[in-house]
Amino acid sequence: MSEILVLVEHVEGQVKKVTLELLTLARKLGTPSAVWAGPGYSPDAKARLAEYGAEKIYLADSADISDYVVAPKAELLAQLVSEKSPAAVLVAATAEAKEIAGRLAIKIDSGVLTDVVGLQDGLVADQSIFGGGVNVQSRVTKGTPIVAVRPNSTPVEAAAGAGAEEQVSVTVSAAAKGAKVVDRVKEEKGARPELTEAAIVVSGGRGVGSAENFSIIEKLADSLGAAVGASRAATDAGWYPHQFQVGQTGKTVSPQLYIAAGISGAIQHRAGMQTAKTIIAINKDPEAPIFELADFGVVGDLHQVVPQLTDEVVKRK
């Protein structure tokens, strides 16, 4: 079976869930090999990668790899592509990995597909394009395909792989050292899951009415173990921080469940959430466009509906 390279996403030595999704996907297409770039590798990380099917783990764990933003990672992958001739390279469709994918495509003279939500035999990708307005099937026709897959688009399945480690030495070029990371500041995070990785997202829009009222959105999210999102109308109004904006100019999410409260469903908002598996809309206007997209809809005032929903969820726990 052909080798498929999977670039590992990791934070403080922890393998992120999207990598397990990529390994699951890679197993259907060939033999997955994980590529670990930067420090933090540990026996736990190895066990996790092997549990989800990594036959090999290429290790490039020097600080050089992560000290110069994304360029060294693209060089590492280019080197592995030339040495191992894999059938494809899979990365997560995160901002950083998409930049790595683009740089890699230039280096190896290949094609790149982004925002992929599924992969079929022959590396035919299901892709959500033009801000999510159109779904297409695409295939890279030149070189080694590079595919950036959206987090949460593949259910994870464990299946043990050998996890054989192979050290890779990379000489990072002078050009790749053009910008050095001089400091890293840990973002203060609450107990909620990361927005782009959460299985459930509860988002509020202009209908929420104020920053204070966002507490009802947060309570519902917390009762469900969900992340909180917001429309641009809500973030522009200063009711919720911009980093939680969902949409064309915000984050793209593909959760199992997306609850949109007081959001009209503008095309730019849909672009960030319409690949969610199930969508519930709460809106007082029965004509709101979000209902065209929703699997379930509640026509009503969110200030009444959301707290009642939270109470019901809490009661059933």
Ligand X SMILES: Cc1cc2nc3c(=O)[nH]c(=O)nc-3n(C[C@H](O)[C@H](O)[C@H](O)COP(=O)(O)OP(=O)(O)OC[C@H]3O[C@@H](n4cnc5c(N)ncnc54)[C@H](O)[C@@H]3O)c2cc1C
Residues near ligand X, by CB under 6 A: 205-207, 231-234, 245-250, 262-264, 266, 268-269, 272, 282-285, 288, 301-303
Distance CA 278, CA 19 (A): 23
Strand partners, 5: 33, 89
CB of 311 to ligand X, least distance (A): 17
Residue nearest to ligand X (CB): 247
**H helix count then E strand count, the chain:** 10, 16
Distance CA 86, CA 263 (A): 44
Contact status, residue 313 vs residue 223, Cβ threshold 8 Å: yes
Tell me the backbone φ, ψ of residue 213, rounded to 5 degrees.
Answer: -65, -15
Tell me the backbone φ, ψ of residue 22, rounded to 5 degrees.
Answer: -65, -40
CB of 249 to ligand X, least distance (A): 4
Nearer to ligand X (CB atom), residue 230 or residue 257? 230
Residue 149, H or E segment: strand 146-149
Distance CA 298, CA 300 (A): 6
CB of 248 to ligand X, least distance (A): 4
Distance CA 50, CA 41 (A): 13
Nearer to ligand X (CB atom), residue 10 or residue 270? 270
CB of 25 to ligand X, least distance (A): 27
Nearer to ligand X (CB atom), residue 295 or residue 301? 301
Nearer to ligand X (CB atom), residue 59 or residue 305? 305
CB of 231 to ligand X, least distance (A): 3
CB of 218 to ligand X, least distance (A): 16
Nearer to ligand X (CB atom), residue 66 or residue 264? 264
